[in-house]
Chains A and B, each alone.
Chain A
Amino acid sequence: MSTHHTPEHLHSHLEDTLTVGKWFQNIWDAIRSTYKGMMITFRYVWGVKPVTIEYPEVREVLPDNSRSRLFNDVDNCISCMQCADACPVDCIYITAVRRDKEAPAIKTDDGTPLKLDLKQYTIDTALCCYCGLCTEACPTECLTHTTDFEYSQYTLSQMKYNYLAPDIRAWKHRIVK
């Protein structure tokens, strides 16, 4: 390529002239630096225990405030919509209906009377970014993060959790928090 002209400062290595002394010095440098490196790595062959955890026989215990799968205790939810407001990706869908004054009064665990009937509380966990802003916003702490991280599904639609469904409500008994 006759028009191939690279500027001076982009020429690659091998610019200094190679003398015989330099050649032997290079060999000595290579041997010495490789020897030092091998001494470091050999120590790992016998001297260090393996750090791999043999999953799934051994499971790692995550810290308590780990932000993994969300759980909402709908019996305590007062439908304030704060979690849906705080969510940056809008993955929480809530619909609630105002209770009539004549309907029997039900209360949450800590005594707040419920004014709204929750008709839909769905979280799309595939959209969720696990930032924790919704759990911070929840005033009754019914929405919490658990430490479950093994919940992959085969289809996307199975990742949408309807917290009013009876099978998900039953998780309440096995969640430690």
Chain B
Amino acid sequence: MEYFLDINKEQEQLKTNLMTMNMGPQHPATHGVLRVEIKTDSEVVAQAIPHLGYLHRCMEKHCEHLDFRGVIPFCDRMDYLAAMNMEWGYCLTVEKLLGTEVPARAQYIRTIVAEMQRIASHLMFFGTYAIDLGAFTPFLYAFQDREFILRIFEELSGARLLYNYIWLGGVWNDINDDQLHRISNWIEEMEENMKKYHALVGENKIFIERTANVGVIDKDMAFDYGATGPILRGSGVDWDLRKTRPYGIYEKFDFNTVVGKGEKGRVGDCWDRYYVRVFEIFESLKILRQCLEGIEAGPVIGKVSKIVKPAPAEIFLRTECPRGELGYHLITDGSKKPYRLKVKSSCFTHVSMLPDIGPGQLIADFVASIGSIDIVLGEVDR
């Protein structure tokens, strides 16, 4: 802890046998432009200071000049690997203020799309985490499975990565039966493939040696830092917003919360966070199956007036995104544009944990810890 709080200049000059290194903004393992200034004592990290802001686009200021519909393309550029979840959170926030009724079919389509996006995001984590640790094969397996998801999204919305698909009141385009049929075939294939991939990576002795007991985040530390999502569940806390504060139609579905149990090491280590994410894919497939059975016919967008003008109010709403809980704090003043839109991004709070889990680890373990937190710099910097 003393490393975290004691960064004054005098003491810095006395520590002459620490080498300062830059895990610089251009680095294959930092998942974006994150600069971590590491002071190392031979191979052991003594201090790790993250420097952010390389991808800062000041989205919050920009949104003050856009109307409510124009904010949606900006929302999905934050966490670009989980764009549907970002849009859904924003649309829920504004719809709560407007009081619009979202039709049932749109709710089902939103859930299908959000769960597929969760699977795509966790597959990306799976591939890039393996490649951080040096295993090149699972990356391509994960991306091949992700291709199907991106292709379905391209047919639905027109774009592969940044969709602008979930609109105020519903979704943009309808989904047809042929696409639903292809999704249900893919679910069976995906389940088989994920079991193979988990046997290839998660049960592998080398992977276990690299990730078990590394970067342990216990429950109190997770609460203190405000960690959410797979990090909190990996530390043993049974908290999933889809079950504890359900939004949309999640109450109708039957699925489990995956909680880290410390199977291979301590509770809250990197293997537990990997385990939570991989097994969340299986739970998402369960939800998808139930969605496909229960989807109703009807319109896909509700009635929203041409010019969106919510009454002056203040609201904070959070949704469960693949990387944590994303919250939107919206203050409106009755005009066409939001007065203040603040995005509470989970990855921003997770990066603040790096100075605390870094010290005492080898540099290779530090790389494994950063990878297991699964940050996307678009969300950290907004």
Contact = CB atoms under 8 A, between A and B. Distances in A.
Question: Do any beta carbons of A and B sit within 8 angstroms of each other in the complex?
Answer: yes
Interface in B134-170: 137, 144, 147, 154-155, 157-159, 162, 164
Contact of A88 (B15, B73, B209): B73
B158 A132 contact: yes
A61 to B, nearest CB: 11
Contacts of B159: 66-67, 130
Nearest to A136: B172
A142 B360 CA distance: 62
A28 to B, nearest CB: 9
Nearest to B152: A63
Contact-residue size bin, chain A (C-beta under 8 Å from the other chain):
35 or more
A133 B164 contact: yes
A29 interface: yes
A37 B201 CA distance: 8
B249 interface: no
Contacts, number: 97
Contacts of B302: none
A84 B74 CA distance: 17
Contacts of B359: 6, 10
A27 to B, nearest CB: 9
B41 A145 contact: no
Contacts of A6: 359-360
Nearest to B11: A3
Contacts of B66: 88
A108 interface: no
B204 A34 contact: yes
A41 B70 contact: no
B357 A10 contact: yes
Given A40-B199, A88-B70, A133-B73, A12 B155 contact: no
B196 A12 contact: no
Interface string A22-62: 00001001100110110011000000000100000000001
A102 interface: no
A37 B154 CA distance: 33
B196 A132 contact: no
Interface string B156-194: 011100101000000001000000000000000000000
A47 B159 CA distance: 32
Given A65-B157, A131-B72, A131-B162, 12 more contacts: A1-B15, A3-B2, A4-B46, A13-B212, A29-B205, A37-B200, A41-B200, A51-B144, A66-B154, A66-B159, A129-B162, A131-B164
Interface of A: 1, 3-7, 9-13, 15, 26, 29-30, 33-34, 36-37, 40-41, 51, 62-63, 65-67, 86-88, 129-133, 145
